[in-house]
Structure 1
């Protein structure tokens, strides 16, 4: 159970967490419990965006950090929701977190502690359900790369070209400097785009190889024609962008 707030320390905490619920408060509740149990020492607050109307599955719960709610009058896209949450961020770090992320120890504190000076975005390794090993690093998305992923001789990059949007710990200075997510993307593609723009702005992407988070993947684009349409149209927007073509010419991050 969540613990009541403690007055034992008034030191500023370094991380503001942004979580968006699309009728998913039942998923958000165990995530908040885990943040409270393992990472309350580094979480200043959670900005919880209610993107569509839903029953309040969190009523009566108390955490060791405030949960500030934003209730949308109409549904917004992934980037617009997190950009809205960032306007409530006063901390040096801003964490974009999916409701279905799970962990059984403190990932946030060690992740922040590992940050190199030029790292604008950090993430742990991500383990998907039923997998024995974490997700491999992502190469630059191209039509050929997507087709090649299924080949037995496909070689994943040693350093990721982009980080999926389910667990993204941004340096607030970096996020603000590129004005956050591009809101022209609705639900897919904005994670690749923001990684590319961070790199083009001189920031690095950093993966903590020794830290692990679990993802209860839903794979909506595999089941829903509407999600598949959003996915494909976002890929076309990525490939038509100047950012994509500039990023392809950038030397691989060392």
Structure 2
């Protein structure tokens, strides 16, 4: 039986995490072997159901906040399960739909580095989780012109599943990104390694808060991460991959 370890980082998202844990227990007990919840800031403890959890639950309390990638790297560092899953606290499972079996099946296919589900908003509309490389023209088309994405160079890490062997191969996330763009960097490094990003026959609800559009601190983090990304070797090599794949599509 295929099973995975799930990493969830809470930054004051206790109520959402509690609901997500109940959903995992109800729908995904056969797929989830272990869940690691990292509390990045102080918040009330999670409540355990009377009959306990059907998976092993590990709770980590940070003495000081860490970045998105650093938290997940620590949670998954000693993973012994065949698959690892990075899961946002603002993701919810849809009733009667267990996504992880399909995600693991997709992740274990030859040449796949990362599997991901369709992400729906509260109204059931598909979100823009598949994105092209964030060049300045691409960001202008997406944010200002509201045009659809022209390629799938990366996917957001709200819900991704990877074989543990692949996770170790690429070294997980780059801790240098405190928040934002760590998923871009991870996907680029997977593709540079010759591995694919594979959409699975699965879907989840994701009500993203888009904090970088509302809070000045998050906008600063976003800009700093973009600058780091644009100066990175992964970005330079990723641009070459995108140009080659676009050329292939035109031919």
TM-score, normalised relative to structure 1 = 0.88
The answer as to 2:245 corresponding to 1:252 is yes
Aligned counterparts of 1:139 and 1:51: Cα–Cα separation in 2: 30
**Structure richer in helix, relative to its length:** 2
Match of 2:216 in 1: 225
Conserved? CA contact 2:129–2:156, under 8 Å: no
Unmatched 5+ residue regions in structure 2?
none
The answer as to 2:132 corresponding to 1:120 is no
Aligned counterparts of 1:132 and 1:90: Cα–Cα separation in 2: 36
Match of 1:39 in 2: 28
2:84 to 80, 83, 94: 94
Match of 1:146 in 2: 139
Once the 2 structures are TM-superposed, how far is the Cα of residue 16 of structure 1 from its aligned partner? Answer: 0.5
- Secondary structure at the residue paired with 2:86? strand
TM-score, normalised relative to structure 2 = 0.89
The answer as to 2:128 corresponding to 1:135 is yes
1:173 to 153, 162, 165: 165
Aligned counterparts of 1:38 and 1:60: Cα–Cα separation in 2: 15
- Over 3 Å counting, the alpha-carbon distance change for 1:134 and 1:224 in structure 2 is closer
Correspondence list, 1:157-196, <5 A: 157=150, 160-196=152-188
Report how many residues are paired: 240
Aligned counterparts of 2:36 and 2:78: Cα–Cα separation in 1: 8
Deviates more, 1:55-64 or 1:160-169: 55-64
Conserved? CA contact 1:25–1:58, under 8 Å: no
Unmatched 5+ residue regions in structure 1?
1-10
Once the 2 structures are TM-superposed, how far is the Cα of residue 136 of structure 1 from its aligned partner? Answer: 5.7
Once the 2 structures are TM-superposed, how far is the Cα of residue 211 of structure 1 from its aligned partner? Answer: 1.9
1:30 to 19, 39, 61: 19
> Deviating runs (4+, > 6 A) in structure 1?
none
Match of 1:236 in 2: 227
Aligned counterparts of 1:137 and 1:160: Cα–Cα separation in 2: 5
Cα shift readout 1:98-134 (whole Å, capped 9, x = no counterpart): 0010112100012212332111111001112346334
